[in-house]
Amino acid sequence: MVHSVELIFDDDTDAAIRQVWDELMAAGVRSQAGHRSPSNRPHVTLTVAEGMDSAVDTALCPVLARLPLECTIGAPMLFGGRAFTLVRLLVPSAELLALHGEVHRLCLPHMPNGVLPHADPGHWTPHVTLARRVPADQLPAAFAVASVTRDVRGHAVGLRHWDGDEKIEYPIS
């Protein structure tokens, strides 16, 4: 599995994204709403690696001074091939890119095998996942859901370290 550092949203932004998840489910598209784990929440992955030592949590505390961060959850996008991951772009403002760069710099010493390439500055696509493994024939139904294409203005307010090996989240505070 992997470890990641994730940006999390305030209650209103979280609720707006969960509403999109629910509307996709109502349209017959299996969305993130179907995952009932208490750790399943809207987020933006800032960095990801095969492993991170626990000292990363303390190392990331200075990043909290950059929060809250105003953000726009914008255009829908697709990742994948045979089945798709439907996401929404987190518009990459100068502030978001600077935060990402700082998280990257602070995490590198705590990643024994380095960062996975798609999380490197210059290769990272900030996004919020709406639905995974969407078959091509369900894409018209997904894009017919009005909230999938409507911008959400919100706030990112926190960070967490997700340990995918142990399935545990560690809030950064």
pLDDT (tens digit, 9 = 90+) per residue, 117-135? 999 999 999 999 999 999 9
| 3 state DSSP class of 27 | coil
pTM, 2 dp: 0.94
Q: Are 6 and 168 in contact (CB under 8 A)?
A: no
For 69, which DSSP code? E
pLDDT over 90 percentage in the chain: 90
Residues 6+ apart with CB under 8 A from 12: 154, 155
Q: What is the pLDDT of residue 82?
A: 83
- Can you tell me the mean pLDDT for 62-89? 96
Confidence label for 109 from pLDDT (cuts 50, 70 and 90):
very high
CA distance 17 to 24: 11
Residue-wise pLDDT for 80-107, tens only, equals 978 999 999 999 999 999 999 999 999 9
